Amino acid sequence: MSHKQFPCKQCGALVEFKPGAAALACPYCSFENPIPQSEEEIHELDFRAVVRSLADSEEMVVIDSLQCKECGASWERQEDVTSTECPFCGTPAVIDGGSTKELKPKSLLPFHIGKKDALERFKAWLKSLWFAPNKLKHYARSDQGINGMYVPYWTYDSYVTSWYTGQRGEDRTEWYTDSEGNRKTRTVTDWYSVSGVVWNTFDDVLVLASNSLPRKYTEKLEPWDLENLEPYQDAFLSGFRAENYQIDLENGFEYAKTIMDGTIRSTVCRDIGGDHQRISSLRCQYDNVTFKHILLPLWISAYRFKDKSYRFLVNARTGEVQGERPWSWWKIGSLIAAGVAVVGGIVALVVMNQ
């Protein structure tokens, strides 16, 4: 899936997608080249049908990629580029990833937050960190790079039938006499065996198809406005890079099951009723499973500090920010020492006054 290059209709120079606008902007003459509105509809694909025919599926495409030796990230090679710094961990050790055959994305959310805005949010975030090393503060004042990346996701829909067994706990109040002969009340729970079946419908269960980014931070970037997905067009990727998925379609669905599990168990507990619920066994059947392979836009700054990688992420649709940070243990230790000294001084004054 090599991305096309687009010449400016006014001066002929290569243009790039302009975040927040359905246009390709020329960096030389500033002319905006509109992206034609796609008439293609975004369809959910049948999960099991595609899995059965993956090797020969017309949904597959050959991708030439670069790969990071450090974190394992893989992304599509840009023309005339053989080596670059990894946008996910900042490591310069990037190698030829070769060619792979993957499911092509069918839709995406275009960038809405621009690079300048994302960089300002990154610098403000760095400056706001308490107990950060001084060198990191200097980093915030420097013109460090931030990369626009399309990150792969799966979405899954499913109708789930769940059979369960368990226990329903019902509270009642009873009187008793304590060891001193006093009459008191206490709550006692009576447990009853139960079984049943519940149904859940899931739409667009979102699964990150990458191992290159910390999942606990990417999940905090949600929600995404998936109702605004656009049919995939190369023009949206002009000036940006796209990561290849590392979690395939089948393993992505296994992860989606873990996300669905919480909702299923809540439904079971409501069905059990009573004051308390215990689930002894749970068997689920997943029907009408469909999926989409989509690309979501992130601004990523990967910086290395004392030989360790830290990532800063911006949701390029909403501006939500998340990131990893180092700590200055010297500053923390100094604050603790100062606090101990202050407490010690107060104690000494009290003793002297007495």
Greatest mean pLDDT among 97-101, 136-140, 274-278 lies in 274-278
Mean per-residue pLDDT for 49-59?
A: 69
The torsion angles phi and psi of 267, rounded to 5 degrees, stand at -65, -40
Say how far residue 32 (Cα) sits from the centre of its chain: 32
Task: Concatenate the DSSP letters of all residues of 101-164 into one string.
Answer: EEEPP-EE----S-HHHHHHHHHHHHHH-TT--HHHHHHHHS----EEEEEEEEEEEEEEEEEE
- C-alpha to C-alpha distance for 204 and 221, rounded to whole angstroms: 16
Is the pLDDT at 169 greater than 90? The verdict is yes
In this predicted structure, what is the pLDDT of residue 340?
Answer: 55
188, 171 contact by CB (below 8 A)? yes
Mean per-residue pLDDT for 214-235?
A: 91
Is the pLDDT at 354 greater than 70? The verdict is no
User: If you search the block for the tokens 């990532």, which residue do you land on?
Assistant: 311
In this predicted structure, what is the pLDDT of residue 167?
Answer: 97
Q: Measured at the alpha carbon of residue 321, what is the angle toward residues 72 and 112, in degrees to the nearest 5?
A: 90
User: Poorest-confidence range of 94-103, 117-126, 155-164?
Assistant: 94-103
pLDDT (tens digit per residue) in 262-321? 999 999 999 999 999 999 999 999 999 999 999 999 998 876 666 677 788 899 999 988
Task: Concatenate the DSSP letters of all residues of 95-115 into one string.
Answer: EEEEEEEEEPP-EE----S-H
Is the pLDDT at 56 greater than 70? The verdict is no
53, 35 contact by CB (below 8 A)? no
Is the pLDDT at 171 greater than 80? The verdict is yes
Sort strands 107-108 and 276-305 into parallel, antiparallel or unpaired.
Answer: parallel
Among residues 87, 102, 8, 6, the alpha carbon closest in space to that of 55 is found at 102
Say how far residue 231 (Cα) sits from the centre of its chain: 21
In this predicted structure, what is the pLDDT of residue 321?
Answer: 87
Contacts of 161 (CB under 8 A, 6+ apart): 197, 198, 199, 284, 285, 287
- C-alpha to C-alpha distance for 123 and 153, rounded to whole angstroms: 27
The better pLDDT of the pair 240, 85 is held by 240
User: Poorest-confidence range of 35-39, 49-53, 321-325, 328-332?
Assistant: 328-332
Greatest mean pLDDT among 80-84, 92-96, 120-124, 234-238 lies in 234-238
In this predicted structure, what is the pLDDT of residue 82?
Answer: 44
The better pLDDT of the pair 187, 239 is held by 187
- For the chain, what is the largest distance between any 2 Cα atoms, rounded to a whole number of angstroms? 98
Burial of 20 (0-12, 13-18, 19+ CB in 10 A): middle
- C-alpha to C-alpha distance for 113 and 321, rounded to whole angstroms: 12
Average pLDDT over all residues of the chain? 80
Contacts of 9 (CB under 8 A, 6+ apart): 31, 33
pLDDT band at residue 322, thresholds of 50, 70 and 90?
Answer: confident
68, 93 contact by CB (below 8 A)? yes
pLDDT band at residue 328, thresholds of 50, 70 and 90?
Answer: very low
Greatest mean pLDDT among 48-62, 71-85, 192-206, 235-249 lies in 192-206
- C-alpha to C-alpha distance for 348 and 346, rounded to whole angstroms: 5
- C-alpha to C-alpha distance for 237 and 323, rounded to whole angstroms: 24
Mean per-residue pLDDT for 174-190?
A: 90
- C-alpha to C-alpha distance for 151 and 316, rounded to whole angstroms: 11
In this predicted structure, what is the pLDDT of residue 100?
Answer: 66
Helix (H, G, I), strand (E, B), or coil: what is residue 197? Answer: strand
Among residues 101, 112, 129, 300, the alpha carbon closest in space to that of 213 is found at 300
In this predicted structure, what is the pLDDT of residue 80?
Answer: 45
